[in-house]
Amino acid sequence: MEDEKTLKTMPRLDESLLTHIPPFSKLGLTEIREILDQASSRRYGEGVAVFSEGGDADRFFMLLDGYIRVIRITETGEQVISLHIPSGQLFGIARALGRDTYPATAVTASEAIILSWPTSLWDRFVIDYDGFSTETYKIVGKRVGEMNMRLVEMATQQVEQRVANALMRLINQTGRKVEDGIEVDFPITRQDLSEMTATTLHTVSRLLSGWEKQGLIKSRRKRIVVTNPHGLMLLSQQR
């Protein structure tokens, strides 16, 4: 769980890694080259903490491949998953929100490849690269919007709707087409889903069993395939 910092600066990162990613997509190749030359790259195993709540926000990150879960832990030890980050997004950008410690913990939900830069470079990026700031805040805006949606959901919806919603969101954002439907693209347990929807793993298990009987999903250990997205959507909206 401890992340021993083995930051290796890869001698040659391919420019094409970034050319289609929002905060960089408006930049020229030379600029992207500059940015990459200052980045560290690292592979993380599944379930590893990239940074921890309260820690010094000394670096910011870009997820090249894999998935990241942003979690918070309460005084009583319960976990709450506040966000999933798909590949191609910046995260740990405390600096952009005027913070100097990380407000939450980031854990890899699957194997991941992550670029990072020292936070001291943030201001330089903002100044030097046109559009970088604007594009970044669009991402922030989206995340704020998502959090807001979840707040409203938690305040007004029943457990079944919330879990259905969470699952829909997962397959929309991180779904991968498989033969009989769309599969959540990283290992996910009942417990994880319960921590995303403020319920217990038991309730999630019962719901998934029910849905499987209705032919909406198929699931095996840590894997969920949604075979009938439309049916699931109806569930998430009903009432």
**Residue 144, contacted partner among its own copies, DNA, none, CB below 5-8 A by kind:** its own copies
Report the partner that residue 159 touches, choosing among its own copies, DNA, none (CB closer than 5 to 8 A by kind). Answer: DNA
Least separation, in Å, of the C-beta of 16 and its own copies?
A: 25
Partner interacting with residue 221 (select from its own copies, DNA, none; CB below 5-8 Å by kind)? DNA
CB of 60 to its own copies, least distance (A): 14
Q: How far is CA 112 from CA 83, 87, 125, 139, 184, in A?
A: 16, 9, 24, 20, 16
Residue 104 found at the interface with its own copies (CB under 8 A):
yes
Residue 220, classed as helix, strand or coil, is: strand
What residues pair up with 181 in beta bridges, in sequence order?
A: 178
140 is in the binding site of which of DNA, its own copies, none (Cβ under 5 to 8 A by kind)? its own copies
- Count of residues engaged in binding its own copies, rule: CB under 8 A: 33
Q: Which residue has the tokens 């990239």?
A: 50
CA distance linking residue 17 with residue 103, whole number of Å: 28
First to last CA, the chain: 42
User: String of b and e for 156-194 (b: at least 16 CB within 10 Å)?
Assistant: ebebbbbbbbbbbbbbeebbeeeeebbbbbbbbebebbb
Closest CA to 100 of 127, 85, 122, 84: 122
Q: Check binding of 97 to its own copies (CB under 8 A).
A: yes
Amino acid sitting at position 237: Q
| Pair 49, 107: CB distance under 8 Å | yes
| Interface region with its own copies, contact rule CB under 8 A, candidates 1-9, 95-103, 182-190, 220-228 | 95-103
The answer to whether residue 206 forms part of the interface with DNA (CB under 7 A) is yes
Among 15, 205, 218, 233, binds DNA (CB under 7 A): 205
Residue 69's SS3 state is: strand
By CB under 8 A, residue 165 contacts its own copies: no
Q: State the binding string over 56-75 for its own copies (x if CB under 8 A, else -).
A: ----------------x-x-
138 counts as binding its own copies under rule CB under 8 A: yes
Instruction: Report the distance separating Cα 103 and Cα 105, nearest Å.
Output: 7
- Does 147 bind its own copies (CB under 8 A)? Our answer is yes
Residues at the site binding DNA, with contacts judged by CB under 7 A: 158-160, 189-191, 198-203, 205-206, 208-209, 212, 219-222
Residues at the site binding its own copies, with contacts judged by CB under 8 A: 72, 74, 76, 78, 80, 82, 94, 96-99, 103-104, 133-135, 137-138, 140-141, 144-145, 147-148, 150-152, 154-156, 195, 198, 239
